Chains A and B, each alone.
Chain A
Amino acid sequence: MDPQHPAEVPLPSGLSLPLEVRVHGRGGQGGVTCAKLIAALFTQMGCFVQTFGDYGSERSGAPIQAYTRVDRAPIRNANKVYRPDHLLVLDEGLMRPAIFDGVEPGSLLLLNSAKPIEAFAGKFDRYRFGVVDATAIAREQGIGSAAVVIINTTILGAYARLLGLPVTALEKGFAKLGVSGDFAAARQAFEKVEIAEVLALEAPASPAPLPVPPPVASTLEHSKDFPPTVLTGTWSNQMPSYATHDAPCNVACPAGNDVVGFVQALKKGDAGAAAGLLFATQPLPSVCGRVCPAPCMGRCNRAFFDGAVNIRSLERWIGDHAEVQPVRASVPRPLHVAVVGGGPAGLSAAWKLARDGHAVTIFEAGPALGGVLRNGIPAFRLPEAALDRDLERITALGVKVRCNTHVGKNELAQLSHDHDAVIVAVGFGAPVALGVKGEHLANIEQGLDFLDRAKREPVTLSGSVVVIGGGNTAIDCARTAVRCGAASVTIAYRRGRKDMPAIAEEIHDAEKEGVRILSYRTPVAFEGAGAVASALLAEMEAGPPDASGRRRPVVTNRTSPLAAATVLLALGQKTDMPLPDGWSMKEGRAFHGDRALPVYFAGDCATGEGTVTHAIGSGRKAAEAVLGVHAPAAKTNGMPVAPGQIRFDHFEVARPHEDRQIAVKMLAGDFSEVNAGLADVSEAERCFSCGHCTLCDTCIISCPDGVIFRDGAGYRIDPQYCKGCGMCVAECPRGVMAMQEKTV
């Protein structure tokens, strides 16, 4: 024993030295430290020790071993431990026959397991066997983290009990090792460890021999082949896996379009497949490709790199160029469904039902299909030809259309008798009134009425025009006013310019056309003799945020007049839906008392969401409700792929393809379309394909061990050799790969 180092803790009687301990654990569990702690404990008993781990480049969770030697004299042994006297197993999952290599009957075996000792009856009779739930104790004592419980100090308590150390000695040892904080856990393990003495000690059979070294060979006579392969797959407790995740554009699309799907199909040059994917949810691509505010582009991960993919114009390209013959499915008993309203929601509902083989009749109050698309959006933004192209596809499915047919309360009740179901999609009701003095002066007009009028007949304006509002209707009114000859056009909006709900490009185009935007202004009165002459605008201040998260505008008493020969009001519309007596609307469906009626509501009259795209989504959902189809909920797969999951450095910087703009010589009187869209679909090549594997082979290339292989329509990873390094996951450009725990 070491004279320089008097024993702090007495060596338990009955312990014979030299002693060899082998610890089996998993990387990260603290097995190597456990062996060190055992060594440190024995130094307290005045012994010489030596301890080391046996591992290499394994990652956390892989099986590792650690050794401790204890002796009275300095240790002269540089080898690993092949014949341990004590065997500590920190994880029951490691209990395989090989773990007992070199362990002789009568040796000590300590196992960390949640099972009671009875569960091991008959299994370890040849050993002095202890079992303790060190993981539970350490977890309860908060050692390590919730995910990774560190049990090395706890198991030491149980080991001390098996050694026959008094608990006071253990406490002293912990103090000396500087781990007194963990003593409570060790003490619990000391008390709780269940011990079975050796039950069946046969005559000490000669231990299994160690492998016999091969004969010494000349350097030219050695094994010709490589020695047994290293199955590096056993080093890991995690494996990479592939899964399709939601692209943010898909999640953002109110119509439910498979955006990433159709853009990727375009990228592959398969315009037909792209159209097929798009038309599954979207009957109006020529329309939406022009007027959709494109929330998909707002969420596009490429916006964090070099600009969002110009998805809207790719959709337009399909709408304008796709040669699609819509196919009507055949069903044994088609339903007869009436759709009230020929706007986007009604058209979408009719499209879905007709494609599924049902008989649809659209009842439209106006002279032609289209609703707000036909009378509320100016031709320079949505030419009639584009709208008609989309409408022709719908009518080609055999949808019947009855125009100039107003459906009132009574007619609605009748329709519900005559049809299997009715979908009501009549859009918004009356415009929101401003409620200020002078609102009824001449030349103050609702913007939608003005737009409708300007589409049907030539309208001439002069002098200054003031538009009130900040949405697309306000912008459309302003740009139409410019084309009707207004000397100046000013938009007054009660919030800031960046708060305007209109499409940003449209605002930009309006400004280019000479429209002036006055933000933080609201009219408090209109003045004039008979006809309006000026608007009295009050300044607004940004107040605290409202429910929409935008700051609520507060009217101040600072006012100034603005000359106005014409005022156009674009303040939005109310949802007011006249229903037959006794009917009520609940969650998009009509009820008579408590009885559900086969009458469904879709679009702005049901939701008030106010965009074409929302209306399309709403219309399809109403059709699905009629069909008793529940929208597949499994579309989402957790969170959409975030910008942080995209490896930007895998992509070349490529600015978005902008829409081609047509130079207009003279805006007044020219209502032709100013945006010519994209020349081709090369913009689709910019799509990251977030969360959707493109078979780009980056995983194959980045695998340091070359154990990823192409396999049919995907990839195969060889689990025998995958070390679980995670390189492929880290390198996957589009967030398709993730590490998964392996089951032992």
Chain B
Amino acid sequence: MSLELLSANHGAAMAATLAARANRKGRGFVSGVYPITPSTECMEFLCNQKIEKSHVVRVESEHSAMGVCIGGAAAGARTFTATSSNGLAYMVENCITAATMRFPVVIAVANRTLGPPWNIWADHGDALILRDAGIIQFFCADNQEVFDSVLCGFRLAEDKRVMMPVMVCMEGFILSHRTAQTDVPEQDKVDAFLPPTDVPHRLAQIPHTLGQIEVPHQTEMHRMQHHAAMLDVPAIYREIQDEFEKIFGRRPPDMLVPYKADDAETLIVSMGTIPITAERVVDDLRAQGKKVGSLRVRLFRPLPVEAIGRVFAGKKRIAVIDRNIGLGMGGVLWQDTRALADPGTVVQDYLAGMGGGDIRPEHIVKMVEDIEARTASGAPKLMEMV
């Protein structure tokens, strides 16, 4: 292992490169790429790597970038792409194709606000368009986690019990452009962690069509198979963590990261880098004797419902911080939190940091003050980033 100073964008591309090389004895690596701020550096880095038995295609749009990945996966290759914001929006149709055709594509997403008006800064709204598409979604908090999640993502996506795309999210600029020490393992260890890709339904000797028309009953079955595979992900992810730890000597973060949550009366729930700030606030408020804790939701889809239920049990208050808004309803994480919290818990949504505002500890302290003054759940609230 060596510690490299890498941006998270470069870290994702480095992990994809190692994974690509690990498939040199399999059916190689295919990636379709198209640049968009703030994920461009990821595809640039990938394009500059020499990878045996690989084809990185610089296409004319995100839609085609995913098309290349679909074709590569259909031929049995390991596949990866990176995008952001409206680029992801443009890719959506083919993302759904990759998901419903059960192709193990790994997608790095540098989360950025959807436009217009154009805003290039962080917002989770782009990835959340694909919340219900049958794609596994990780939201990362730091550089190492982005790197590790890409490696784990390949292992998870290509697991025969899973077989579906994995999206690794990092907040644009806040994380995508942050450089920090990243533990980069040697190739032989990655080889050991990632056996050659085997897509069982790939196009092999006999020509056939994938994704043909089907009747309603078949669709019901396919949806249920896909759903069941998603529900298996938490258990399979734990196996992968164990395997990762055995090979690399360190454990990638859990799908849920509670922080001083056990005895907390007020729980702050958030995703991405926001929980890092929340954890600092927890420390400060604990020092003042307040029973506050944090829950970081790292695996958002499939949502680890049972594990979350255990953390939520008995909480007086749950403050949800959403760097997104499901327009016409409220924060997307809040919607799920409301469904999983105990009936008596005060659940309050705080929309904060949409469009890239820097959520500082002071902001979260205000939210905690607000929820502690409440006796009942209310409609979502906005924390303006002035």
Contact = CB atoms under 8 A, between A and B. Distances in A.
A222 B181 CA distance: 40
A461 B1 CA distance: 102
Nearest to B171: A78
Given A49-B181, A78-B276, A222 B5 contact: no
Interface in B319-360: 330, 350-351, 358-360
B366 A218 contact: no
B204 interface: no
Interface stretch (B79-87, B189-197, B377-385): B377-385
A216 B366 contact: yes
B141 interface: yes
Given A79-B360, A216-B382, A223-B384, A52 B173 contact: yes
A736 to B, nearest CB: 28
Nearest to B176: A52
Contacts of A48: 180-181
Given A78-B174, A219-B379, A36 B358 contact: no
Nearest to A36: B179
Interface size of B as a range: 35 or more
Max count, chain B CB within 10 A of own CB: residue among A2, A49, A76, A216: A216
B277 interface: yes
B203 to A, nearest CB: 42
A217 B382 contact: yes
Contacts of A213: 360, 362-363, 366, 383-384, 386
A56 B174 CA distance: 11
A78 B370 contact: no
Could you say which of A54, A56, A80, A227 has the most chain B C-beta atoms within 10 Å of its C-beta?
A56
Interface in A29-60: 36, 39-40, 43, 48-54, 56-57
Interface string B248-260: 0000000000000
B123 interface: no
Nearest to A68: B179
A53 B178 CA distance: 8
Contacts of A79: 277, 358-361
Contacts of B1: 4
Contacts of B177: 52-53
A210 interface: yes
A43 B5 contact: yes
A212 interface: yes
Contact of A49 (B5, B120, B350): B5
Contacts of B121: 56
A211 B366 contact: no
A217 B381 contact: yes
Contacts of A80: 358
Contacts of A36: 5, 179
A75 interface: yes
Interface string A662-705: 00000000000000000000000000000000000000000000
B279 interface: yes
A266 B362 CA distance: 69
A439 to B, nearest CB: 73
Contact of B5 (A40, A56, A219): A40
A86 to B, nearest CB: 18
A57 B141 contact: no
Interface of B: 1, 3, 5, 37, 120-121, 141, 173-175, 177-181, 273-274, 276-277, 279-280, 330, 350-351, 358-363, 366-367, 370, 378-384, 386
19 contacts: A2-B181, A50-B180, A51-B179, A52-B177, A53-B177, A56-B121, A57-B37, A76-B280, A78-B174, A78-B277, A79-B277, A210-B360, A211-B386, A213-B360, A213-B363, A213-B366, A213-B383, A218-B379, A222-B384
Given A78-B277, A214-B386, 20 more contacts: A4-B1, A4-B3, A39-B179, A40-B5, A50-B178, A51-B178, A52-B179, A76-B280, A78-B175, A79-B360, A210-B360, A212-B362, A213-B360, A213-B384, A216-B366, A216-B381, A218-B378, A219-B330, A219-B380, A222-B382
Interface of A: 2, 4-5, 36, 39-40, 43, 48-54, 56-57, 75-80, 82, 210-219, 221-223, 227
